Amino acid sequence: MFASVQRRLIYFPDPTPVPPAAAVIAGARDVWLHTADGLDLGSWCLPAAGPVDSGMSVLVAPGNGGNRAGRVELAEQLSRRGLTVVLMDYRGYGGNPGTPSEDGLAADADAAVLALSELGYPAQRTLYFGESLGCGVVAALQARHRPAGIVLRSPFTELADVAAHHYPWMPVRALLRDRFPVVVHLATSDVPVTVIYGDRDRVVPPVLSARVADRARSLAERVVLADADHNDPVMFGSEVAAAVARLARSVDVAGDADRRA
């Protein structure tokens, strides 16, 4: 009973079915994710549209609200920078079947990695982009399927720290079932990571995002957006996309050097 109640405080899906990808974004296509527990989940794939195709992809693992239709601008910004983008929706979001949970979202992300590989983008040519709750998803995912790099936008150390901030009178650390740890995975990972956060975030306290950057073993870049709150347009815009592109270039250069060695 308590698990279902707390999950209603964690996940805020927009379950409304979304249109076909091509009806929303020119050149995009629908891609289906087939999970290990038998769900077929809709997602959108937008190919690279910039003057130079980087040969890399970005898997966007969204936050806990809305659906993929709300991430169109970010996808277009990334595409213009030469990156192929998959906008996934978790179970229960965007017309997808199922009910979200930590284990469920992990299975959804695993299915997305498999779908990208089938599209010609294995994990070593993919960046995982986590938005808020999605940071917990991709931090765990990179330990199962090593990517070229990860980008964490508005990350937290673990979900219980966010819950304790918003509900200081509740014993959330003892009661919370879905934990989404981030720092514990980054502390032992040598995958390059970029951390992005706004310094006016009222959902994920900036001090938690800063702590993630401080404790990341392989921090590539820290980007602090001035006067930015959690869902301000800038958090989905060109500065975020530019940081993703910088990480893509840096890991691609490093990969070329390793291949020549």
Task: Report the amino acid identity of residue 61.
Answer: A
Using an 8 Å Cβ cutoff, are 170 and 213 in contact? no
What is the full per-residue pLDDT of the chain (261 aa) written as tens digits? 345 556 667 898 999 999 999 999 999 999 999 999 999 999 999 999 978 899 999 999 999 999 999 999 999 999 999 999 999 999 999 999 999 999 999 999 999 999 999 999 999 999 999 999 999 999 999 999 999 999 999 999 998 888 877 777 776 776 678 889 999 999 999 999 999 999 999 999 999 999 999 999 999 999 999 999 999 999 999 999 999 999 999 998 665 545 444
pLDDT of residue 256: 57
Radius of gyration of the chain (CA): 17
Ranges of each domain in the chain = 2-260
Task: Report the amino acid identity of residue 38.
Answer: G
Q: Give the domain 2-260 fold.
A: Rossmann fold (3.40.50)
Q: Report the candidate in 55, 49, 94 with the shortest Cα–Cα distance to residue 71.
A: 94
